[in-house]
C-alpha cells in the first residue's frame, strides 16, 4: 500500500505523476508552463486524463541559469497553494533537492518531496518527516545537482542503485517518514550514460523485490533519444515502450509529460498481467 496525501494506492495500482515545470528553460517544453495560467491549465488537463500526482518543479534538471532557493520557492510555493485550493484530493509533489524549498512547499500544502539528486541535502528527509510528507529517494550517481555525468562507470550499476536508494529509504524511515510514503527511483539519465539507464530498466525487478514502491522518470529522456537517435519531441514511442517494460517488471509510479498515452499503456499491461478486466468484452461472445 502506498499512501500519499489523501490518496491510497494498492500494490498493483499504477500511479501517474504529471510533470508541471515552472521554469522558463525546461528541456521538453521550453517554458510553456512557466506562467501561472498555462501551468494551471496543464494541471487541469493532467488530472482529467488520469494523473493522481502533480509534480511541480522550479529548477530545470540540466545546466543553465543559476536559480537560488529564494527564486525556486517563488516559482513553486504560491503555485502549490493554488493547486491545493483547486484540487484538495490530488497528490502534490515538488521536485526539489533543497530543504528550505521543501519546508516552504510543505507549508503551502505539498504532500510529497521528489528528491531527484540522491539526498545531496540530507535535511530534506528531515523536512518530509516533520510535515508528514512522502519522499522519493533517487540514485543520481553522486553527481552535483544540475551537472551532467562525465565518463561515469560502475562495477554493477544496479547494485549501486540498490545500495543508494534503499539506504536513503531506510534513513528516511528512521527519521520518521512513513514507510508507506517512501518510493525509490533508479534515476534514469542521472549520473548515468545510456547503457546504464538501459541496464537499470532491464533489471528493474530487482528494485521491486526490495518491497519499496518504485518510481520511474522515463519521459522523453536522453537515454531514449540516444537509443533511437531521436530528438526530444520524437521520443514518445520509445518512452512508452520503456514504460510498458517497467510496468511489467514491477514499477508503480510513472513521472510523465504525456498522461493520456501513458495511462493506455499501463492499462494494457495490467490487463495482460491479469490485474484489470477489459473495458468492454464483445468479441466472440455474440
- Buried-state track 269-279, b at ≥16 Cβ within 10 A, e below 16: bbeeeeebeee
Q: How high is the pLDDT of residue 267?
A: 98
Q: How high is the pLDDT of residue 284?
A: 92
Any domain includes 278: no
Any domain includes 279: no
Q: Which domain holds residue 124?
A: 2-273
Domain harbouring 182, CATH code: 3.20.20.20
- As a whole number of angstroms, the distance between CA 238 and CA 241 comes to 5
Average pLDDT across the chain, whole number: 96
pLDDT tens, residue by residue, 138-197:
999 999 999 999 899 999 999 999 999 999 999 999 999 999 999 999 999 999 999 999
Q: How high is the pLDDT of residue 34?
A: 83
Neighbours of 12 (CB within 10 A): 12
Where does residue 89 rank: exposed (0-12), middle (13-18), buried (19+ CB within 10 A)? exposed
| 114: β partners | 95, 136
Place of cell 562525465: 150
For the chain, how many structural domains are there in total? 1
Residues of the chain with pLDDT under 70: 30
Any domain includes 187: yes
Any domain includes 283: no
Any domain includes 284: no
Amino acid at each position: 500500500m502506498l499512501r500519499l496525501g489523501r490518496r491510497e494506492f494498492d500494490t498493483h495500482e499504477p500511479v501517474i505523476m504529471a510533470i508541471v515545470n515552472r521554469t522558463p528553460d525546461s528541456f521538453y517544453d521550453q517554458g510553456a508552463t512557466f506562467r501561472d495560467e498555462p501551468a494551471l491549465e496543464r494541471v487541469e488537463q493532467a488530472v482529467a486524463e488520469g494523473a493522481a500526482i502533480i509534480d511541480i518543479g522550479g529548477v530545470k534538471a540540466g545546466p543553465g541559469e543559476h536559480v537560488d532557493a529564494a527564486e525556486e520557492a517563488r516559482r513553486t510555493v504560491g503555485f502549490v497553494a493554488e493547486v491545493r485550493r483547486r484540487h484538495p484530493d490530488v497528490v502534490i509533489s515538488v521536485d526539489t533537492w533543497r530543504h528550505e524549498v521543501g519546508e516552504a512547499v510543505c507549508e503551502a500544502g505539498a504532500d510529497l518531496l521528489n528528491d531527484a539528486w540522491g539526498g545531496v541535502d540530507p535535511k530534506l528527509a528531515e523536512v518530509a518527516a516533520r510535515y508528514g510528507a512522502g519522499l522519493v529517494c533517487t540514485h543520481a550517481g553522486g553527481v552535483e545537482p544540475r551537472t551532467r555525468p562525465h565518463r561515469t562507470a560502475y562495477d554493477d550499476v544496479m547494485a549501486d542503485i540498490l545500495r543508494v536508494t534503499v539506504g536513503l529509504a531506510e534513513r528516511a524511515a528512521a527519521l520518521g517518514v512513513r514507510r508507506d510514503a517512501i518510493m525509490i527511483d533508479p534515476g534514469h539519465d542521472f549520473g548515468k550514460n545510456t547503457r546504464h539507464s538501459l541496464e537499470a530498466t532491464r533489471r528493474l525487478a530487482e528494485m521491486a523485490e526490495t518491497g519499496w514502491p518504485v518510481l520511474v522518470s522515463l519521459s522523453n529522456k536522453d537515454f531514449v533519444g540516444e537509443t533511437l537517435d531521436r530528438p526530444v519531441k520524437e521520443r514518445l514511442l520509445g518512452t512508452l515502450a520503456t514504460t510498458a517494460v517497467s510496468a511489467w517488471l514491477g514499477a508503480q509510479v510513472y513521472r510523465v509529460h504525456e498522461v493520456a498515452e501513458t495511462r493506455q499503456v499501463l492499462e494494457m499491461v495490467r490487463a495482460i498481467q491479469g490485474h484489470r478486466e477489459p473495458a468492454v468484452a464483445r468479441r466472440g461472445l455474440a
